[in-house]
Structure 1
Amino acid sequence: MIVLAVLRHDQRLADMADGNDVPASTVRRWRDELIGLLAAQTPRLDRVLRKVAKQGGELVLIDGTLIRTHRRTGSADRRNYSGKHRTHGLHFLALTDEHGRLIWISAARPGRTHDNTAARHDHILAHLRAAGLGALAGLGFCGLDTTSSTP
Structure 2
Amino acid sequence: MVTLAYLRRRRVQAELAEAFEVSQSTISRATAAVTPLLAGVLEQCVPTADDLDDRSSHIVDGTLLPCWSWASRPESFSGKHRTTGLTVQVVRTLDGRLRWVSDPLPGSRNDIVGLKASRVLDGRDPSIRLGDKGYIGSDILTPIRKPRNREQPDRKKEFNRHRNSIRVVVERAIAQLKTWRILHTDYRRPVGTFTDTISAVIGLYFYAAE
TM-score (norm 1): 0.74
Match of 1:32 in 2: 36
Counterpart residue identity of residue 46, structure 1: D
> Following TM superposition, by how much is the alpha carbon of 1:4 offset from its aligned partner in structure 2, in angstroms?
0.7
CA–CA separation in structure 1 for the residues paired with 2:101 and 2:84: 20
Match of 2:22 in 1: 20
Secondary structure class of the residue paired with 1:34: helix
1:103 to 58, 74, 99: 99
Contact 1:13 1:28 survives alignment (8 Å): no
Contact 2:3 2:30 survives alignment (8 Å): no
Secondary structure class of the residue paired with 2:72: helix
> Following TM superposition, by how much is the alpha carbon of 1:36 offset from its aligned partner in structure 2, in angstroms?
2.8
- Alignment of 1:90 onto 2:86: yes
Alpha-carbon RMSD across the aligned residues, in angstroms, is 2.6
1:75 to 62, 68, 72: 72
Secondary structure class of the residue paired with 1:128: coil
Distance 1:97 1:27, change over 3 A: closer
- Structure 1's consecutive aligned runs of 4 or more residues displaced over 6 angstroms after TM superposition are none
2:49 to 45, 49, 69: 45
Percentage of identical aligned residues: 28
Q: Max radius of gyration: which structure?
A: 2
Contact 1:116 1:141 survives alignment (8 Å): yes
Secondary structure class of the residue paired with 1:43: coil
Say which structure is richer in strand: 1
Q: Which has the higher contact order (CA 8 A, sep 6+)?
A: 2
TM-score (norm 2): 0.55
Counterpart residue identity of residue 67, structure 1: L
Secondary structure class of the residue paired with 1:71: coil
> Following TM superposition, by how much is the alpha carbon of 1:27 offset from its aligned partner in structure 2, in angstroms?
2.5
Counterpart residue identity of residue 85, structure 1: H
Distance 1:133 1:103, change over 3 A: farther
CA–CA separation in structure 2 for the residues paired with 1:30 and 1:12: 17
Secondary structure class of the residue paired with 1:49: coil
Match of 2:10 in 1: 10
CA–CA separation in structure 1 for the residues paired with 2:109 and 2:64: 9
CA–CA separation in structure 1 for the residues paired with 2:88 and 2:65: 8
Say which structure is richer in helix: 2
> Following TM superposition, by how much is the alpha carbon of 1:64 offset from its aligned partner in structure 2, in angstroms?
0.9
Count of residues in Structure 1 that have an aligned counterpart in Structure 2: 136
Alignment of structure 1 residues 115-134 onto 2, 5 Å: 115-129=111-125, 134=128
2:58 to 60, 63, 85: 60
My pick for the range that moved more, 11-20 or 88-97, is 11-20
Unaligned stretches of 5+ residues in structure 1: 147-151
Distance 1:14 1:35, change over 3 A: farther
CA–CA separation in structure 1 for the residues paired with 2:82 and 2:13: 26
